[in-house]
Amino acid sequence: MGSSSVKLRVGSLFMNVGKSEKHDPDIRRTPHVNINPFTPDSLFLHTSEGQSRRRKRTYWNDSCGEDMEASDCELEDETIRPAKRITITESNMKSRYATEFHELEKIGSGEFGSVFKCVKRLDGCIYAIKRSKKPLAGSVDEQNALREVYAHAVLGQHSHVVRYYSAWAEDDHMLIQNEYCNGGSLADAISENYRNMRYFTEPELKDLLLQVARGLKYIHSMSLVHMDIKPSNIFISRTSVPSTTSEEGDDDDCSSDRIIFKIGDLGHVTRISSPQVEEGDSRFLANEVLQENYAHLPKADIFALALTVVCAAGAEPLPTNGDRWHEIRQGKLPKIPQVLPQEFLELLKVMISPDPEKRPSAVALVKHSVLLSAAKKSAEQLRIELNAEKFKNSLLQKELKKAQMAKAAAEERALFTDRMKTRSTSQNRTSRLIGKKMNRSVSLTIY
């Protein structure tokens, strides 16, 4: 800028603020906001809070005031350090749940609370709203509830992690608005299979393992671990995908359901470094975690994933303790009532190795040769989707071309009509001019 000042507009008012003017204490006061411990800069936010008070303060506005130096215009992160953590009580508001959502049905319940299928009144879309079972303010569960919100906010950007939309508090209860997965949980599917005396097939098991491994790869890449992988925390989204398309675009009889597995329930998520571990379900808990050895936490997720796949394969319910529990921690797979390839069983076995270092990482699992067929199937599914999109685009291009041609024809007709009207008007004027009565010279001779 030509001068070392900028103009600040607040509503309809303009404020000129000189460099030498004292700052308003109310403006200087730091807003109360929570620090998300799962974001990469959270440590910096904590350590730099004290330093911010010694630095030059700037105005807490959307822009900077006139006559302020350009360098003062750049609000530094230190000016927004929270003075304290906001509690559940402080964030209470009027019933947003009743105002914004229409409850359809209760679709689940667990240790944290209940989950409801709701339609949002504004956009008409279906969401899953999770509500804490009991008031959280001041309880030991409050921090766990906030931890789940923090984790969802950081991790909700992957196709194999349940998407997060928002969270708020009402009557000291925490509510979390998440993506609705229309296929229910993997635990529901396993129970349904058990009632119908069937199991997930080998290709389905490999697909399950591959998709959840991709979700874990993403979570671990964010330097976080889930710590509660189990069938009830894996959710299923079913989408109809056209497998073939005809020239007429009639693909109603040529579609297939694509199943997407998504990791949810992030209440136990913690950092890989300096973790605060809340032990998950003992049936899926790795022994080293029980022994408070947190040196290989991502491998605890791998251990739990193997047992999750074993459950989907039709194994008997896993033990919560006892001899069978210890046998599994010694690397012995539970009995699976179906014939699976030996190489697949060996992969599951190494995933529950007593030595966590011997277990494959999520990155290694995604690339594992045993899962190549599932990966190829996934790639083929993507190709099918791509071809379907190409076909839709082709139809749209045709429709667009037709519309453009129709528009051009309409414009041509309108132009022709205008020309005809202009010609007709010109002819009428000419005819009136020729046939109009005019004064004629008359020669009259009188003798």
Helix, strand counts (H, E) of the chain = 14, 11
Catalytic residue check, 252 = no
Q: Please tell me the distance from the alpha carbon of residue 190 to that of residue 206, in angstroms, as a whole number.
A: 15
Check the annotation: does 108 bind a ligand: yes
Check the annotation: does 133 bind a ligand: no
Check the annotation: does 352 bind a ligand: no
CA 123 remoteness from chain centre: 17
Residue 373: helix, strand or coil by DSSP? helix
Check the annotation: does 107 bind a ligand: yes
Q: Tokens 């009889």 correspond to what residue?
A: 253
Which residues, 6 or more positions from 134, have their beta carbon under 8 angstroms from its beta carbon?
113, 141, 173
Q: Please tell me the distance from the alpha carbon of residue 244 to that of residue 255, in angstroms, as a whole number.
A: 7
Check if the beta carbon of residue 170 is closer than 8 Å to that of residue 96.
yes
Q: How many CA atoms lie within 13 A of 446 on its CB side?
A: 0
Using CB atoms within 10 Å of the CB of residue 266, give its burial: 0 to 12 exposed, 13 to 18 middle, 19+ buried. Answer: buried
Check the annotation: does 113 bind a ligand: yes
Check the annotation: does 328 bind a ligand: no
Q: Please tell me the distance from the alpha carbon of residue 345 to that of residue 148, in angstroms, as a whole number.
A: 34
Catalytic residue among 141, 207, 228, 281: 228
Check the annotation: does 114 bind a ligand: yes
DSSP-assigned beta bridge partners for residue 250: none
Residue type, 445: T
DSSP-assigned beta bridge partners for residue 239: 258
Check the annotation: does 109 bind a ligand: yes
Residue 34: closest CA among 99, 101, 80, 94: 80
Length of the chain: 447
Whole-angstrom Cα Rg for the chain: 34
Q: Please tell me the distance from the alpha carbon of residue 339 to that of residue 336, in angstroms, as a whole number.
A: 8
Using CB atoms within 10 Å of the CB of residue 177, give its burial: 0 to 12 exposed, 13 to 18 middle, 19+ buried. Answer: buried
Question: DSSP string spanning 388-414?
Answer: HHHHHHHHHHHHHHHHHHHHHHHHHHH
Check the annotation: does 110 bind a ligand: yes
CA 73 to each of CA 12, 29, 56: distance values in angstroms, whole numbers, following the listed order: 20, 18, 11
Check the annotation: does 115 bind a ligand: yes
Residue 126: helix, strand or coil by DSSP? strand
Which residues belong to the annotated binding site?
107-115, 130, 233, 265
Annotated binding residues for Mg(2+): 233, 265
Could you list the residues known to form a binding site for ATP, using ranges.
Answer: 107-115, 130
Catalytic machinery residues? 228
